[in-house]
């Protein structure tokens, strides 16, 4: 991190000026440090949507949106997708280094032995109507972990923070599967310690009391890959939410519950559910042109879900990997899904259309993930829950990093006030 260069900003009207250091990270554009701007000039900066604003320093994930590059702790996503596992990636995100065998065994053991929900937490599910959206149940259930682990949790203690990370990564699949099973009226399942992380989750999702479940290695591999690809994505909306809540000193369960609600929106993680619903609405490949025309029509609010990204102005590297995986999984599982044909046609039509080309709108991570989830038998309403299981690793890594950063302050943006000037109260009978 260097701060050798200075940007000088002069306010012509008041002649007040500020000398602002330029901060550089390991990779990526330098940032103008505006921390003293208000004190020096009396001005705030304005950047709604944070198009040009770095909210923090972070050593976890790097994205180059123009080149389509994604690195976790320096490792290219393509290499991790090919060679690693979700649990190893979770360790990497949390600790900064890949684990050796002993470190991995110990991490795996800890995760495996924190997977159970508190027995009374199961009762919470009874409070939901049977058709409650699983994301609503997930957010509430994760927030409720605070009720079980708040009193003995000191967010300033590194060991307590580590234990919270283990608990969250371990329990998230158990809670997620419980959300699904409650919604379809199946008895909840306990996690099986003899299974690995992803198989354990698939077992909790799909095992029925009446017959044994044969787990498919293809399904487990595909899900593990999807979890790797979704594990972190630097300062996206949900991670920034986790950090903002975390900056108040709130406990990790409350912070991550907030991240889950931020993820739910269709402009973010909710897009995977929206993509599948949209593909189903389009229905057949011959209707793709109409959909593309609607997406281009400025008088129509319709957008192509799964297209575009705030940071990637090139192919989302995760989408490239998922696209390939999608074909492989469908053929290995013997699934012939007509939606894949619609998706392919949509991708082809958009990629050669000037509207999408000029705006650099490429398929994003969620464009193909839903088709894989569907092939694995995961219901559409659970898609964003799947995303949340994986992203928990990133969220908690960021929450820990934030607490390890000296001098961190509460997040508190300012505003441009556009309301009424000061005025006097008028009694009701005079209005």
Of 309, 323, 361, 303, give the one whose Cα is nearest residue 226. Answer: 323
208, β-bridge pairs: 211
Q: Kindly state the smallest distance separating residue 298's Cβ from ligand ACO, in Å.
A: 7
Of 108, 89, 257, give the one whose Cα is nearest residue 172. Answer: 257
Kindly determine how many residues on this chain lie close enough to bind ligand ACO according to the rule CB under 6 A.
18
Q: Kindly state the smallest distance separating residue 229's Cβ from ligand ACO, in Å.
A: 10
- The C-alpha angle with vertex 113 and arms to 152 and 156, in degrees rounded to 5, equals 30
What is the C-alpha to C-alpha distance for residues 155 and 366, in angstroms, rounded to an integer? 33
363 lies in the site for ligand ACO, by CB under 6 A:
no
Q: Kindly state the smallest distance separating residue 359's Cβ from ligand ACO, in Å.
A: 4
What is the C-alpha to C-alpha distance for residues 304 and 327, in angstroms, rounded to an integer? 21
User: Which strand ranges, in their side-by-side order, compose the sheet holding 61-64?
Assistant: 61-64, 69-72, 75-76
Q: Which residue is nearest to ligand ACO (CB)?
A: 308
Comparison of 140 and 304: residue with beta carbon closer to ligand ACO: 304
364 lies in the site for ligand ACO, by CB under 6 A:
yes
Comparison of 7 and 267: residue with beta carbon closer to ligand ACO: 267
Q: Kindly state the smallest distance separating residue 356's Cβ from ligand ACO, in Å.
A: 7
Comparison of 330 and 365: residue with beta carbon closer to ligand ACO: 365
Tell me how far the alpha carbon of residue 248 is from its chain's centroid.
21
Comparison of 20 and 228: residue with beta carbon closer to ligand ACO: 228
| From 199, 224, 232, 366, the catalytic residue | 366
* Strand-strand pairing, 61-64 and 6-10: unpaired
Question: Per CB under 6 A, which region of 214-222, 241-249, 364-372, 375-383 contacts ligand ACO?
Answer: 364-372
Question: Per CB under 6 A, which region of 21-29, 184-192, 214-222, 359-367 contacts ligand ACO?
Answer: 359-367
Question: Per CB under 6 A, which region of 8-16, 189-197, 252-260, 360-368 contacts ligand ACO?
Answer: 360-368
| From 309, 354, 421, 429, the catalytic residue | 309
Choose, by CB under 6 A, the member of 271, 276, 282, 396 that binds ligand ACO.
271
Tell me which residues in 288-347 interact with ligand ACO (CB under 6 A). Answer: 295, 303-310
State the chain's maximal CA–CA distance in angstroms.
79
228 lies in the site for ligand ACO, by CB under 6 A:
no
Q: Encoding tokens for residue 53?
A: 């604003």
Q: Kindly state the smallest distance separating residue 299's Cβ from ligand ACO, in Å.
A: 12
In SS3 terms, 72-139 reads as: ECCEEHHHHHHHCCHHHHHHHHHHCCCCCHHHHHHHHHHHHCCCCCCHHHHHHHHCCCCCCCHHHHHH
What is the C-alpha to C-alpha distance for residues 16 and 369, in angstroms, rounded to an integer? 52
Q: Is 309 in the active site?
A: yes
365 lies in the site for ligand ACO, by CB under 6 A:
yes
Q: Kindly state the smallest distance separating residue 233's Cβ from ligand ACO, in Å.
A: 7
Comparison of 111 and 271: residue with beta carbon closer to ligand ACO: 271
Q: Kindly state the smallest distance separating residue 216's Cβ from ligand ACO, in Å.
A: 26
Rg (CA), the chain: 23
Q: Is 233 in the active site?
A: no
- The four Cα atoms 48, 49, 51, 56 give a dihedral, to 10 degrees, of 100
Q: Which residues are catalytic?
A: 309, 366
In the complex, the residues that contact ligand ACO under the rule CB under 6 A are 267-269, 271, 295, 303-310, 359, 361, 364-366
């Amino acid at each position: 991190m260097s701060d050798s260069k200075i940007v000088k900003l002069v306010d012509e009207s008041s002649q007040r000026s500020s000398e602002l250091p330029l901060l550089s990270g390991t990779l990526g554009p330098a940032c103008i440090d505006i921390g003293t701007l208000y004190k020096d000039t009396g001005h705030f900066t304005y950047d709604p949507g944070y198009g040009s604003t770095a909210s923090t320093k972070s050593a976890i994930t790097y994205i180059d949106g123009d080149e389509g590059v994604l690195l976790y702790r320096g490792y290219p996503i393509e290499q991790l997708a090919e060679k690693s596992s979700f649990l190893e990636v979770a360790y990497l995100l949390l600790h900064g280094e890949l684990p050796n065998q002993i470190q991995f065994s110990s991490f795996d053991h800890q995760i495996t032995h924190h997977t159970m929900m508190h027995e009374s937490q199961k009762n919470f599910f009874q409070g939901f109507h049977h058709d409650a959206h699983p994301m609503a149940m997930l957010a509430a259930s994760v927030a409720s972990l605070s009720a079980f682990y708040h009193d003995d949790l000191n967010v300033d203690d590194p060991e307590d923070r580590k234990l919270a990370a283990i608990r969250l990564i371990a329990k998230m699949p158990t809670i997620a599967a419980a959300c699904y099973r409650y919604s379809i009226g199946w008895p909840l399942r306990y996690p099986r310690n003899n299974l690995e992380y992803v198989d354990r989750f698939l077992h909790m999702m799909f095992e029925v009391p009446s017959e044994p479940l044969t787990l498919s290695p293809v399904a487990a591999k595909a899900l593990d890959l999807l979890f790797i690809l979704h594990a972190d994505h630097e300062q996206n909306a949900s991670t920034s939410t986790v950090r903002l809540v975390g900056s108040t000193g709130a406990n990790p369960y409350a912070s991550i519950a907030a991240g889950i609600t931020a993820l739910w929106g269709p402009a973010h993680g909710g897009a995977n559910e929206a993509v599948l619903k949209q593909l189903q609405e389009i229905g057949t490949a011959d209707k793709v042109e109409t959909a593309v025309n609607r997406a281009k029509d400025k008088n129509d609010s319709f957008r192509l879900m799964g297209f575009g990204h705030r940071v990637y102005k090139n192919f989302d590297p995760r989408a490239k990997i998922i696209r390939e995986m999608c074909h492989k999984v469908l053929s290995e599982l013997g699934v012939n899904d007509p939606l894949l044909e619609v998706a392919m046609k949509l991708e082809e039509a958009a990629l050669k259309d000037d509207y999408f080309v000029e705006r650099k709108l490429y398929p994003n991570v969620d464009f193909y993930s839903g088709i894989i989830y569907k092939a694995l038998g995961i219901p559409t309403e659970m898609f964003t829950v799947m995303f949340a299981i994986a992203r928990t690793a990133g969220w908690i890594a960021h929450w820990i990093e934030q607490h390890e950063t000296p001098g961190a302050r509460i997040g508190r943006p300012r505003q441009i006030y556009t309301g009424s000037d000061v005025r006097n109260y008028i009694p009701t009978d005079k209005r």
